[in-house]
């Protein structure tokens, strides 16, 4: 589905991002995997059969200068890049009453500003050369329904808005969509409070747990030409929980 495609994936070294990398490679794409965790990126590279099609680049998505430097690297080494998956994210599992200013900044810097920086620089590159491309952003059911961690909820709601605005701003060259999963079995999920996990499950119509591979399937569909009529849309991957 992704033959001859080149995809940037952020937060690529763990959980959902790692599965997105694997599925993109399986579908014939080459991938530039970015993550703050250099060691985990190296492990991902080691575990990949065809190492020529997986490029790794350690960076902090919230650091504007690092992101700008990355796009200089992309321009020189991967000029034909056509897809971006904004996936990196953190969840502090805190009540808003316990948030310090530094925590608020950290969540919004990574979960929102990181997505803005990547969208801006990717958008500039493709629009400048009038090339077609695709962006998929990682939101969450918490961005629609609210979260027990209000700042995380804010960050994921912001991504719904960023998606619609970028879909308009980057038309007709770049399609921009977002996925909004419920709990997905990753290291991040294990930090969600148990009472909240129970609440999520009690509202679901399907009781099969959502796995990182399931989210990756939808992301690959959205990256592919099979989704050519979709832009500005949110894809709920939520087992029918919180219908809207």
Exactly one of 30, 83, 147, 186 binds ligand NAD (CB under 6 A); which one? Answer: 186
Catalytic (active site) residue 152: yes
For residues 67 and 20, give the distance between their C-alpha atoms in angstroms, rounded to a whole number. 20
Subset of residues 89 to 118 that bind ligand NAD, contact rule: CB under 6 A? 89-91, 110
Site membership for ligand NAD, residue 15 (CB under 6 A): yes
Three-state DSSP state, 109: helix
The vertex-144 CA angle with 142 and 145, nearest 5°, equals: 65
Taking CB under 6 A as the binding criterion, the range among 1-9, 82-90, 169-177, 224-232 that sits at the site for ligand NAD is: 82-90
Q: Which of 91, 115, 117, 152 is catalytic?
A: 152
Window contacting ligand NAD (CB under 6 A); options: 45-53, 170-178, 187-195, 225-233: 187-195
Does the protein bind ligand NAD through residue 16 (CB under 6 A)? yes
Site for ligand NAD in 57-76 (CB under 6 A): 60-62
Distances (CA, A) of 68 to 22, 71, 72, 125, 141: 26, 5, 6, 12, 30
Calpha distance 75→107 (Å, rounded): 29
**Kindly report the CA angle at 156 between 110 and 57, in degrees rounded to 5?**
35
Q: Does residue 9 belong to the site contacting ligand NAD (CB under 6 A)?
A: no
Rg, C-alpha atoms of the chain: 17
Question: Which positions lie near ligand NAD, rule CB under 6 A?
Answer: 10-11, 13-17, 35-37, 40, 60-62, 87-91, 110, 138, 140, 181, 183-184, 186-189
């Amino acid at each position: 589905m992704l033959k001859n495609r080149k995809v940037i994936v952020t937060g690529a070294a763990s959980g959902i991002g790692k599965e997105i990398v694997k599925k993109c490679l399986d579908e014939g794409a080459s991938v530039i995997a970015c993550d703050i965790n250099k060691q985990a990126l190296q492990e991902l590279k080691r575990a990949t059969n065809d190492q020529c099609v997986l490029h790794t680049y350690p960076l902090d998505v919230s650091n504007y200068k690092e992101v700008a430097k990355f796009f200089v690297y992309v321009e020189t080494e991967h000029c034909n890049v056509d897809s971006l998956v904004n996936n990196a994210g953190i969840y502090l599992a805190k009540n808003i009453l316990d948030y310090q200013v530094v925590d608020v900044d950290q969540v919004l810097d990574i979960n929102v500003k990181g997505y803005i920086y990547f969208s801006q620089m990717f958008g500039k590159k493709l629009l400048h050369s009038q090339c077609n491309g695709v962006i998929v952003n990682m939101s969450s059911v918490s961005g629609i329904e609210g979260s027990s961690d209000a700042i995380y909820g804010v960050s994921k709601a912001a991504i719904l808005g960023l998606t619609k605005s970028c879909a308009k701003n980057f038309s007709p060259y770049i399609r921009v969509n977002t996925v909004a999963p419920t709990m997905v079995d990753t290291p991040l999920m294990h930090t969600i409070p148990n009472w909240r996990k129970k609440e999520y499950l009690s509202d679901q119509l399907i009781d099969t747990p959502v796995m990182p591979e399931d989210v990756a399937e939808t992301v690959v569909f959205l990256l592919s030409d099979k989704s050519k009529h979709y832009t500005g849309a949110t894809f709920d991957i939520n087992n029918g929980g919180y219908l809207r």
